[in-house]
Amino acid sequence: MFKKSLTLGIVSGLLAGIAGILYAKLYYTANEADFSKVASSVRIISSSLFGGVLAAIGYTLLVKALKSKGEIVFNLLFTILSFASLLLPIAFKLPLTIETPELFPGMVIPMHLFPALGWYTLKPLFIKN
Amino acid sequence: MNKLLYPFAAALILAGSAFTFIAAQNWQIADGYSIAFTSDDASGIFKGFKGNIAFDEQTPATAKFDVTIDVSSINTGNGLQNKHAKSDEWFDAAKFPVIHYTSQKVTKTASGWLATGDLEIHGVKKSTPIPFTFKKTATGGLFAGTFTVNRNDFKLGKPGGDVGEQIKLDISVPVNK
């Protein structure tokens, strides 16, 4: 069980990271706002992977503890935590050399939802009920 | 008529040349300046700074600082904080777009110089002494100063709260001839 959910976590985390990097490049092209000093490609990939692996651990524990209701609680928690994490980029203080901090949340907020999106999209391929 | 013309011309030339000796050196503000502020909760920089600086170490009596800081150029590193700082609760950038400092006199001190003049923030003008140092460089010079203002004196924000009432300003201005 944990092997499957860990694989799902890693794959969805990686895909979320790749989507995040592509989105960051698109955002930079559209807004001329470069945040690569604080949100580098490595950082985007590693934090997305971290989210995916954390989701895998949480999923396994909840399904083991709550059986059939575990997935419902997990989905609810994953979504709530993803939304709660949106506060982090809003409150984040950037280095003063970055001239447009007001554009930073617009770039990072969607990225915080990518790991959950990846998980929900790929789950049927890895874990069948 | 000719008798008067030459003495008058001589006096005029003398007076003119005398003024060239006592007029202070005018400096152009160069890139790379830094106007930074820190308090208990908020800190940041102002990116917009311009004005006229006339200063000569030999003739401090003729020194004059008339500079403005663009309030809307404030950067605290956080977009929400920037917006809040520009709002009518704090700087009210729409109504008071600049911070203005005009020196009245400049005197020598043990550690450098002291400019005394009017600092106008948020529409409130207050006499503010600014201690500073001046170092000559290869291309011009560098003015540097640190001083503290009480934000309540300028009706910035509400008294108390998270943001400290004493705001420390660190100013570094490179200048060219």
A94 vs B contacts (CB less than 8 Å)? 77-78
CA distance B143 to B137: 10
R_g of chain B, CA atoms, integer Å: 20
**CB pair distance less than 8 Å for B83 and A99:** no
CA distance A39 to A37: 6
The ipTM, to two decimals, is 0.80
CA distance A15 to A28: 20
Q: How confident is the model at residue B163 (pLDDT cuts 50, 70, 90)?
A: confident
C-alpha separations of B134 from A45, B80, B89, B174 in Å: 48, 36, 36, 10
Q: How many domains does chain A have?
A: 1
pLDDT of residue B15 exceeding 80: no
**CB pair distance less than 8 Å for B77 and A91:** no
A87, A93, A97, best to mutate vs chain B, most B CBs in 10 Å: A93
Give the domain range for residue A9. Answer: 2-126
What average pLDDT is seen over chain B?
Answer: 90
CATH class for the region spanning B23-176? mainly beta
B43 → chain A, closest CA residue:
A96
> Nearest CB to A94: which of B36, B77, B83?
B77
CA distance A59 to A120: 12
CA distance A97 to A94: 8
Give the 3-state secondary structure of residue B88.
coil
**CB pair distance less than 8 Å for B83 and A93:** no
Give the 3-state secondary structure of residue B168.
strand
B35 → chain A, closest CA residue:
A96
Contact pairs from chain A to chain B, CB under 8 Å: 34
pLDDT of residue B8: 65
pTM: 0.82
**CB pair distance less than 8 Å for A94 and B83:** no
Q: Which helix (H) or strand (E) holds A45?
A: helix A41-66
CA-wise closest residue to B170 among B47, B42, B36? B36
Q: Are A46 and A14 in contact (CB under 8 A)?
A: no
Least confident of A46-60, A106-120, B19-33, B61-75: B19-33
> Nearest CB to A96: which of B44, B79, B80?
B44
C-alpha separations of B43 from A47, A59, B156 in Å: 28, 41, 14
**How far is the alpha carbon of B166 from chain A, nearest alpha carbon, in Å?**
21
Is the backbone of residue A72 left (phi > 0), alpha (psi -120 to 50) or beta? alpha
DSSP secondary structure code for residue B175 in this structure: E
- Beta bridge partners, B107, equal B114
Residues of B in CB contact (< 8 Å) with A are 36, 44-45, 47, 75-83
pLDDT of residue B61: 92
* pLDDT tens digits along A12-21: 999 999 999 9
A104 vs B contacts (CB less than 8 Å)? 79
* pLDDT tens digits along A62-108: 999 999 899 999 999 999 999 999 999 999 999 999 989 999 999 99
